[in-house]
Amino acid sequence: MSTETQLREKLCLLARSMFDRGLTAGSSGNISVRTEDGGLLVSPTGTSFGRLDPARLSRFDAAGRHIDGDRPTKEMPLHSAFYETRSRTAAVVHLHSCHAVALSTLPQADEDDFLPPITPYALMQLGRVKLLPYFCPGDPAMGDAVRSLAGRRSAVMLANHGPVVAGLDLEAACNAIEELEATARLAMLLRGTTPQMLSPQQVAELQRIHDVAWGEA
């Protein structure tokens, strides 16, 4: 497992990469990673993904107490809910990515299966994505909504807000949320057309081969 210093540097590096490619903007978005001692490193509140300082990340101990660094993101209820309900979670990423947010506002958005089956890649990395209703940023009810899924989903989409993804490590979580945004972008590009989606049989095959999170919610 990576040392804490390595985790701090990797978290900031991956966050900067997402910022540089326009996946989040300004001081939006937040990211966390599990440390070797069971604690967490978390991006501080009001900070930009493009300018995170490894030395100033919020540090939590294994009991969930903030013990060092700047004040953490107000979206901690989201992060905590994933760590509490999915035991294998080692990182959580939340973005305000443009196309995913746009897709979440459309009346035909499917609450239980937010992303259309356009390519296999989002299915492989995310399974089915649950669309949750709008919550005021920082509302603890967001964490309650994730807990209500009982760990059955690795990713949710907050309507009019942004996606949240839990991963087995930092890179997996970042890769998956980028795939979520890419699929949402494809869905927006295809609006008004009649594309050929993956068939239910093809989707079921991906589910079986990759053992993705597919639980009913």
Q: In angstroms, rounded to a whole number, what is the distance separating the alpha carbons of residues 169 and 90?
A: 5
CA distance 207 to 209: 6
Angle at 168 between CA 167 and CA 170, to 5 degrees: 70
Burial, 132: exposed, middle or buried (Cβ in 10 Å; 0-12, 13-18, 19+)?
Answer: buried
Residue 75 annotated among the catalytic residues of the structure = yes
Chain centroid offset of residue 201 CA:
27
> Residues 4, 84, 121, 205: which is the catalytic one?
121
Residue 83 falls in the annotated catalytic set: no
Q: Are strands 66-68 and 91-94 parallel, antiparallel or unpaired?
A: unpaired
Are the beta carbons of 57 and 66 closer than 8 angstroms? no
HSE-CB of 33 using CA atoms within 13 angstroms = 24
Q: What are phi and psi of 42, to 5 degrees?
A: -135, 140
Q: 9, 75, 134, 181: which is the annotated catalytic residue?
A: 75
| Residues forming the active site | 75, 121
